[in-house]
Amino acid sequence: MTKIEMNNKYWVMRSMPEGSNFSECFELKTENYIELPKGSILTKNIYLSMDAGTRMIMTDREDSYLPPTPIGEKITGTVLSEVVESENPNYLPGQKIRSWGQWADYSIIDPDTMFPSLVDDSEIDLVNYVGILGANGWTAYVGVTETGRAKKGDTFVVSAAAGCTGLLVGQIAKIIGCKVIGIAGTDEKCNLICNDFGFDGAINYKKEEVSNRLKDLCPEGINVYCDHVGGPIAEAVYENMALFGTIAISGLLDYYSSSKRSPGPKNYDLILMKRLRVEGFFSPDFYHREKEFNPILKNWVNENKIKLPFQITKSLEKLPEAYLKLFEGGNIGKVVVEL
Amino acid sequence: MTKIEMNNKYWVMRSMPEGSNFSECFELKTENYIELPKGSILTKNIYLSMDAGTRMIMTDREDSYLPPTPIGEKITGTVLSEVVESENPNYLPGQKIRSWGQWADYSIIDPDTMFPSLVDDSEIDLVNYVGILGANGWTAYVGVTETGRAKKGDTFVVSAAAGCTGLLVGQIAKIIGCKVIGIAGTDEKCNLICNDFGFDGAINYKKEEVSNRLKDLCPEGINVYCDHVGGPIAEAVYENMALFGTIAISGLLDYYSSSKRSPGPKNYDLILMKRLRVEGFFSPDFYHREKEFNPILKNWVNENKIKLPFQITKSLEKLPEAYLKLFEGGNIGKVVVEL
């Protein structure tokens, strides 16, 4: 353990959020030294990735896919950062890495458990490594091609379509050759995904009756649905699935914010009636496949086939507002905090 | 169209059942001639197969997997019968066939739409062709090996375990090398599946708390669940699924008897948390694979690896009581009406 004197501002969990009261539950603190455990790396954070999925480590649920952040502890998430001190020969000061880290000025990274990965920003902006070339990009790629098994000619629907993963999912489904319909919560988002991102149609679920609109837009039935929200939108999609369709679930935003369990879709029995496949998947299960995914994704970026807008908050202090955007429909594309 | 004078008793739909009031909704009638359409076959029914899945053609639901039986029309189901008149050169009088047919003394079978299949009962009792060597056997085989993808060493759970498909599923999972736990509704059934059918454990869901019992019996988590019921039993299984487990749904008994929709499992979000695959499947989708399945299933019968008890009602008049057994837990193994 090496003690390093330095100022570090960091966010801790004051209490578990109920709903989206993050500003009450997150507390900004300052420490004036860091203890770096043997084998670990100290990095200066450059970008903090805001991800709705991390809401699941802010609950007391025992059956979440990740263990909860203990009260009083630093809040964690994916970070892009530069190594400043290293007790590990594989990581050298000056190198940039993407890793699990802390919502703080600095991250202490245990390479054995926190998935650090060296990144090369010589040809592409660093921030892309928490977007197209990070967990969102891999989730979108796996969701469309592997879990979703989308094929040319399929009718494809994605929810939270203007969010980071949703935008990438829709663009990849277009590359595969699908007809792509996005579901989002504002007219601005609906216009954007059709006009700037090549979607074939959009539904504003706050203004339109989703099931009827899907019937109009997808009279042939939906072959693949990438679900990021669950709840009533998922029910409307179930209603319009084609026989032998696939529902690939990588997010269930409607379930994250409540400590009470939401019910499953009331038309759950359509899984049998329509012989559907409903499958959950989760990016940490394929972090180890970065070297397989990123060359494909980089090519698509270079060929102008996929792009991603960023919403950048340039202040650690304003992190709770940036994070809240993910739960209140305030984001288009990737939300990051830049330090 | 050939008109044939003969007496034929048959069941018609008087009204759509609500719940299980079949004796009110089925009406026995008699006709004294039959009109045989061109290309069709007239058969004398020997066995009528009682299948819970046919409950779904007794509803007004538009999204059932099969179209509803119109009020006043003959009720249909799988039958084993002998050809007595044929307008089709592929089927000759005296031949025995399994087919979709009518709940009646005689069936009029359109070979193009009713899946007739010649059966050979020279070496095995005819009735097996609506059991191990029919839709139940194929459903069990596909459920365990293809949709369920069960592997040696897996922990495997099946509901309605003493029903026809459940018994076959459990025995096939044992052949594959799984640890098999059955869920059934009486102590008699639980004893039977463990003592006579080789299951490794049983839970009486009417007396025991299913989730806790599953925790005891499957502390390592459930890899494959063949679901025939849905509802609270499915919720208890979800709770105990292992990461990357599979729920193969070939029946949802809890949803059949009500015209109102039941909700999905309240822990539906475990599909994401545990990265489950939940998939529906349905025997008419693989009727054409009989020649692939039956040699495998026959071998297992000959090697004494699978067996199936029958509950035989020897009276067309008592059909409603036989059918009711499927919905009130009164059956062990396959329920048939013998004429």
Residue A253's pLDDT band, with cuts at 50, 70 and 90, is confident
Region of residue A305 (left: phi > 0; alpha: psi -120 to 50; beta: else): alpha
Burial of B121 (0-12, 13-18, 19+ CB in 10 A): middle
For testing contact with chain B, the best of A59, A214, A268 (most B CBs within 10 A): A268
Give the residue-averaged pLDDT of A89-118.
Answer: 96
Give the residue-averaged pLDDT of A291-301.
Answer: 97
Q: A26: domain CATH number?
A: 3.90.180.10
Same domain, B76 and B191: no
A288 pLDDT higher than 80: yes
Among A132-136, B25-29, B109-113, B262-266, the minimum mean pLDDT is found in B262-266
| pLDDT recorded at residue A172 | 98
Cα distance between residue A283 and residue A142, in whole Å: 9
Q: How many domains does chain A have?
A: 2
pLDDT above 70 covers what percent of chain B?
98
Give the residue-averaged pLDDT of B183-190.
Answer: 97
> Do A273 and B280 make contact, defined as CB atoms within 8 angstroms?
yes
Q: Which amino acid is at A304?
A: N
| pLDDT recorded at residue A258 | 63
| pLDDT recorded at residue B253 | 83
The DSSP bridge pattern shows strands B334-338 and A334-338 to be unpaired
Structure-model confidence comparison of residues A257 and B271, the more confident one: B271
ipTM of the complex: 0.94
| In a domain? residue B292 | no
| pLDDT recorded at residue B257 | 66
B239 pLDDT higher than 70: yes
Q: B272: domain CATH number?
A: 3.40.50.720
Q: Which residues of A touch B (CB under 8 A)?
A: 56, 63-65, 230, 239, 249-252, 255, 261-282, 285
Two tokens at B215?
Answer: 């925790």
Nearest CA in chain B to A266: B263
pLDDT tens for each residue of B13-39: 999 998 899 999 999 999 999 999 999
Same domain, B185 and B272: yes
| In a domain? residue A292 | no
pLDDT tens for each residue of B316-337: 999 999 999 999 988 899 999 9
| pLDDT recorded at residue B192 | 97
Give kind and range of the element (H or E) at residue A210: helix A210-217
Same domain, B144 and B257: yes
A260 pLDDT higher than 70: no
What DSSP letter does each residue of A241-295 carry, written as one string?
A: EEEEEEEEES--HHHHT-SSPPPBPTTTTHHHHTT-EEEE--GGGGGGGHHHHHH
Same domain, B145 and B206: yes
| pLDDT recorded at residue B62 | 72
Cα distance between residue B235 and residue B243, in whole Å: 16
Q: Yes or no: say if B268 and A263 are a contact pair by the CB < 8 Å rule.
A: yes
Q: How near does any CA of chain A get to the CA of B263, in Å?
A: 4
Burial of A290 (0-12, 13-18, 19+ CB in 10 A): buried
Same domain, B127 and B251: no
Minimal CA–CA distance to B146: which of B295, B264, B285?
B285
Residue A263's pLDDT band, with cuts at 50, 70 and 90, is confident
| In a domain? residue A304 | no
Q: Yes or no: say if A221 and A239 are a contact pair by the CB < 8 Å rule.
A: no
Two tokens at B110?
Answer: 């359109």
Nearest CA in chain A to B61: A273
Cα distance between residue B151 and residue B149, in whole Å: 6
Minimal CA–CA distance to A256: which of B265, B272, B263?
B272
Residue A72's pLDDT band, with cuts at 50, 70 and 90, is very high
Same domain, A164 and A108: no
| pLDDT recorded at residue B330 | 84
Same domain, B320 and B263: no
Q: Yes or no: say if A183 and A208 are a contact pair by the CB < 8 Å rule.
A: no
Give the residue-averaged pLDDT of B218-242.
Answer: 97
Full residue range of the structural domain in which residue A112 is found: 2-131+309-338
Among A35-49, A303-317, B45-59, the minimum mean pLDDT is found in B45-59
Same domain, A142 and A126: no
| In a domain? residue B280 | yes
Residue B85 CB: number of other CB atoms within 10 A?
18
Mean pLDDT of chain A: 94
Q: How near does any CA of chain A get to the CA of B113, in Å?
A: 19
Same domain, A36 and A119: yes
First vs last C-alpha separation in chain B: 27
| In a domain? residue A300 | no
What DSSP letter does each residue of B192-251 carry, written as one string?
A: HHHHTT--SEEEETTTS-HHHHHHHH-TT-EEEEEESS-HHHHHHHHHTEEEEEEEEES-
| pLDDT recorded at residue A61 | 75
Give kind and range of the element (H or E) at residue B179: strand B179-184
| In a domain? residue B301 | no
> Do B278 and A282 make contact, defined as CB atoms within 8 angstroms?
no
| pLDDT recorded at residue A332 | 95
Residue A44's pLDDT band, with cuts at 50, 70 and 90, is very high
Selecting from A63, A64, A270 the residue whose C-beta is nearest the C-beta of B63 gives A270
Q: Please calculate the CA angle A277-A283-A284 and round it to the nearest 5 degrees.
A: 125
Residue B327 CB: number of other CB atoms within 10 A?
17
Same domain, B121 and B140: no
Same domain, A162 and A242: yes
A20 pLDDT higher than 70: yes
> Do B63 and A273 make contact, defined as CB atoms within 8 angstroms?
yes
Cα distance between residue B308 and residue A97, in whole Å: 61
Same domain, B149 and B269: yes
| In a domain? residue B97 | yes
A5 pLDDT higher than 70: yes
| In a domain? residue A296 | no
Q: Yes or no: say if A265 and A234 are a contact pair by the CB < 8 Å rule.
A: yes
Minimal CA–CA distance to B99: which of B138, B46, B35, B59?
B46
> What Cα–Cα distance (Å) separates residue B288 from each residue in B117, B249, B268?
10, 20, 33
Q: How far does Cα A239 stand from its chain's mean position?
A: 26
Residue A325's pLDDT band, with cuts at 50, 70 and 90, is very high
pLDDT tens for each residue of A234-246: 999 999 999 999 9
Q: Which residues of B touch A (CB under 8 A)?
A: 56, 63-65, 230, 239, 249-252, 255, 261-282, 285
Mean pLDDT of chain B: 94
